[in-house]
Structure 1
Amino acid sequence: MMLATLKAEEQSQQLQIVEREDIEDEDDLFEAIDKLTSHGINAGDVKKLQDAGIYTCNGLMMHTKKHLTGIKGLSEAKVDKICEAAEKLVNFGYITGSDVLLRRKSVVRITTGSQALDELLGGGIETLAITEAFGEFRSGKTQLAHTLCVSTQLPTNMRGGNGKVAYIDTEGTFRPDRIVPIAERFGMDPGAVLDNIIYARAYTYEHQHNLLLGLAAKMSEEPFKLLIVDSIIALFRVDFTGRGELAERQQKLAQMLSRLTKIAEEYNVAVYMTNQVVADPGGGVFVSDPKKPAGGHVLAHAATVRLMFRKGKGEQRICKVFDAPNLPESEAVFQITPGGIADAKD
């Protein structure tokens, strides 16, 4: 009987298409940039900031003055005035540990579709953080991305994010027809789910960076909860060749990762990025085929949570927490099913 009522509840909660009005408590997370006009900044200058992809006061303070004076039509004096006004609107100084704890309450954890994997991650993929999954091809990284596309749109009481999804695809592996069975598994309308995903295919690392800049406008208008970059490194491995360009590649990669961190913190979204692996010749005597994640230290330090995926038997995959500030190093087994990521069946 209990199951029947639960099922009925789930049916009644078929996808709630997310409306901006639902979200009142989030307004205190970021102040819109146009509030600067009430502090003596003229609307033309605010428009210039928006054209440069800055839509919130928090976002403004994430840029250096050098970068801001590089925006056409903004002099140093104007930038100083704008920054002063922004500081009045948002507190950028020290706060107490208790305040930080309160702020952490706004973190949403989005289910992966597998109970075991959720438990490993302390509840799911977190907002305000970057989660990186690396592993060989066919280890389940993109499958998790597709499942998250759907589970992010679930209401929060069903361990979803109640928000939209942005998907930047550098490898051409996004399949909308894959979303349909996953949506059906969660009892959602596939058409509505697909409408809530915005997708872009990137072909060069510069294109990838510009897509991230353009995202600010969309995120400031609509409630996004997840940004997927699949994969973060592919275009860098193509556009930069040889050791001579490695330093420049890492510099550009660092800038893009910094952009991702800012998006996660500015709009309270979860960032899920996949990464490729490279052969590691010095990776130890006891490992038959040693591999390590691509991207080096730059990428290692940028990701909040690093997950290592590897193949198990059949459709089973193993996820290991490789690095995380608040999770123990352990493993979980999950399975790839037609309805997305699910618990492994023995």
Structure 2
Amino acid sequence: MPKRAKTEEVEEKEEKVEEEVNVDELVEDILGEAAAEAPPEEVPEGEIRLEDLEGVGRITAQKLRAAGFYTVRDLAFASAHELALVLGSEERAMAIIRSAQRLVNRGEEFITAKTLFEKRKNIEYISTGVRSLDDLLEGGIEVGSITEFIGEFGAGKTQICHQLSVMVQLPKDKGGLNARALYVDTEGTFRPERIVQIARARGLDPEKTLENIIYARAYNSDHQMLLIDEAKKYIEKYNIRLIIVDSLINHFRAEYPGRENLASRQQKLNKHISQLHRLASLYNLAVVVTNQVMASPDIFFGNPLKPAGGNIMAHGCTYRIWLRKAKEGKRIARIIDSPKHAEKEVAFAITEDGVTDV
């Protein structure tokens, strides 16, 4: 048989095989026994391997992990669009998502409000270390949600972030979760020396406290989003129960100036906030972000400043606390948006020992 005719015949057979057989299964057959006998990917205790999902072979599992989908829970909360970018087919992406959701939800897609009320009684909180702030938030920083601190330079946003990264390490009976924090610094304002001061004031070993904070510096918005994607690798391995992004908006404002770039910026920012919401829900952890303020020239009476980020930030963050300076070195924290709190404010101070009551 002529070589060209033989090549065409092989190509026709390959196309037919691709139509009838799952591509991953075909590749695994080609790889042979070596691929079949490769050691399975390690997963946390109680988790289901990606390969055990219907429609997911070893090759697909490798692709998914490379794209940041490490667990069945990651797939259950993924969107068909982002998964289709990895798998090449939205139909296949939807099938895998539904398969993952059946395992994760186990028939609990709909529950009564009473059931939800009972579940929320078990929600955990991280104490801020300040009684007045804890009272304002009815317990502290809520796990499973995004808490946003807004304010001008020097209002105390970064100070609170430093303190929370220490407080989460305390035992539960002292207001912590006996866990670690992951700290993403976008402005270069994280200072380990400050952590040492706060740790000593709380009676903690400074060196051990520093070891329990996983730190990363984000140099642009893409790098910032990549770090949050990569965070999945560390959350369960290192018992991360608090993610801090200080500040969330900094790089987005710098890289997308002007009205002509506003739509692109907001779409990207929305995706980033969705990343954080997903991590908070999937891994039962708290997310704390800080936000800058901007002048609003159309306001003639009252506060001329407003939070940066527009409606995307307003709708994306669960609890929004505005910080401002007051007389005699005091700071004021005011809840400006919350699904359960009334608008109110309290005073606190920043001292050598950290953030404290007045």
- Give the TM-score band, short-chain normalised: 0.7 to 0.9
- Once the two structures are superposed, the pairs formed by residues 77-226 of structure 1 within 5 Å of their partners are 78-91=92-105, 93-226=109-242
- Once the two structures are superposed, the pairs formed by residues 198-277 of structure 1 within 5 Å of their partners are 198-277=214-293
RMSD: 2.0
- Pairing 1:49–2:64 present: yes
Taking the aligned partners of 2:143 and 2:171, their CA distance within structure 1 comes to 15
Higher RCO (CA-CA < 8 Å; seq separation 6+): 1
Taking the aligned partners of 2:312 and 2:236, their CA distance within structure 1 comes to 28
Taking the aligned partners of 1:254 and 1:247, their CA distance within structure 2 comes to 10
1:127, distance to aligned residue in structure 2 (A): 0.8
- Pairing 1:338–2:338 present: no
1:93, distance to aligned residue in structure 2 (A): 2.1
Q: Residue by residue, what CA displacement relative to the aligned partner does 1:212-253 show, whole Å, maximum 9, x if unpaired?
A: 110111113232111111001110111112111111111111
Distance 1:237 1:33, change over 3 A: farther
Segments of 5+ residues of structure 2 without an aligned counterpart are: 1-43
Q: Secondary structure at the match of 2:231?
A: helix
Q: Is the 8 A contact 2:248 2:290 kept in 1?
A: yes
Taking the aligned partners of 1:182 and 1:171, their CA distance within structure 2 comes to 21
Distance 1:156 1:74, change over 3 A: farther
1:291 maps to amino acid = L
Segments of 5+ residues of structure 1 without an aligned counterpart are: 1-26
Taking the aligned partners of 1:119 and 1:147, their CA distance within structure 2 comes to 17
Taking the aligned partners of 1:168 and 1:57, their CA distance within structure 2 comes to 25
- Pairing 1:283–2:299 present: yes
Distance 1:74 1:196, change over 3 A: farther
2:347 maps to amino acid = V
Q: Is the 8 A contact 1:58 1:90 kept in 2?
A: yes
- Pairing 1:305–2:305 present: no
Taking the aligned partners of 1:321 and 1:90, their CA distance within structure 2 comes to 34
Taking the aligned partners of 1:194 and 1:329, their CA distance within structure 2 comes to 35
Q: Is the 8 A contact 1:36 1:86 kept in 2?
A: no
Taking the aligned partners of 1:41 and 1:105, their CA distance within structure 2 comes to 37
- Once the two structures are superposed, the pairs formed by residues 34-45 of structure 1 within 5 Å of their partners are 34=49, 37=52, 41-45=56-60
1:316, distance to aligned residue in structure 2 (A): 1.2
Q: What TM-score results when the alignment is normalised by the length of structure 2?
A: 0.82
1:324 maps to amino acid = S
Q: Is the 8 A contact 1:230 1:274 kept in 2?
A: yes
Q: Residue by residue, what CA displacement relative to the aligned partner does 1:72-116 show, whole Å, maximum 9, x if unpaired?
A: x56556534423431331226212223323432442111111101
2:73 corresponds to? 58
Q: Rg bigger for which structure?
A: 2
The aligned length equals 313
Q: Residue by residue, what CA displacement relative to the aligned partner does 1:298-325 show, whole Å, maximum 9, x if unpaired?
A: 1100010000000012331000011111
Q: What TM-score results when the alignment is normalised by the length of structure 1?
A: 0.85
Q: Share of identical aligned residues, percent?
A: 42
Q: Is the 8 A contact 1:36 1:82 kept in 2?
A: no
Q: Residue by residue, what CA displacement relative to the aligned partner does 1:262-282 show, whole Å, maximum 9, x if unpaired?
A: 111111111110000001122
